[in-house]
Amino acid sequence: MMERAALIWNWLSEAAGKVSSGLRSWRQTRFVQTFCESWWWGIRVLARPIHTLQQAADEKPILPALWLTIFQGLSLALGTRYAHENGGFVLSWLIKNLPSWNLVIFYAFIFPPALWFIKAAVLNLVAELLGGPPRGLSLLATTGIACSPLLLVLPAALIAVALAEPDLNTGFVSHLWFVFAIGVHAWWVLLTVFAIRETYRFTIGQAFLTVLLPSIVGMPLVYIIYRVLETVA
């Protein structure tokens, strides 16, 4: 009896050791490390934006920035759609007009990462035309981390809908949601400007100009696409 108990105990000890070793190995994988690092970067940039963006420009944490881009895409898409379905003001015409939640989730996984690469490429081109050094990977990292304010959209939408009476179309909470919806996007744009400034060591004026020029050039194109989509829908 004692021998059998000892054998069982030894077997359990070996199994526990293997599980513990497996968990340590799993924590050390690049996948898990970058996942954890992404939250570290996201929280730090909200608390210490300038220092964090300077560090990101030097270290180029591309994979954590990719994680953050996916997370913010999910938060923005799900939070925006949920707020819209409860009468809230939203800025994204596309998200609120997608026909199903499945497409909203598909959009969240595909569109933000694609837009992240395109945006970084365009901004890097404009920055180089304005005299900045070629730092495309640094800008890719910093602009991904600069999107961190959008992580707050889904939690804010859940809280706002829970507190709204009867929905986000009327009442004091609806006004708070409106201010938040505008403010969180302004925060994102401001962090993007800081990201450009820290990446290229620009003045704040040069960084604003880097963001402004593509917006001015692309505005007619965006309007045309909007009208086409509105007609089709």
Instruction: Give the DSSP letter string of the chain.
Output: -HHHHHHHHHHHHHHHHHHHHHHHHHHTSHHHHHHHHHHHHHHHHHHSHHHHHHHHHHH--HHHHHHHHHHHHHHHHHHHHHHHHTT---S-HHHHH-SSHHHHHHHHHHHHHHHHHHHHHHHHHHHHHTT----HHHHHHHHHHHTGGGGGHHHHHHHHHHH-SS-TTSSHHHHHHHHHHHHHHHHHHHHHHHHHHHHHT--HHHHHHHHHHHHHHHHHHHHHHHHHHHHH-
Classified as helix, coil or strand, 60 is: coil
Q: Around Cβ 150, how many Cβ atoms within 10 Å?
A: 25
- Provide the residue-wise pLDDT of the chain in tens; the chain has 233 residues: 555 555 555 655 565 555 555 545 545 567 778 888 999 999 999 999 999 999 999 999 999 999 999 999 999 999 999 998 888 888 887 888 888 888 999 999 999 999 999 999 999 999 999 999 999 999 999 999 999 999 999 999 999 999 987 788 888 888 999 999 999 999 999 999 999 999 999 999 999 999 999 888 777 777 777 777 677 65
pLDDT of residue 27: 52
Q: What is the Cβ-side half-sphere exposure of residue 35, based on CA atoms within 13 angstroms? A: 7
Q: How many residues does the chain have?
A: 233
C-alpha angle 220-225-227 in degrees, rounded to nearest 5: 95
pLDDT of residue 142: 97
pLDDT of residue 141: 96
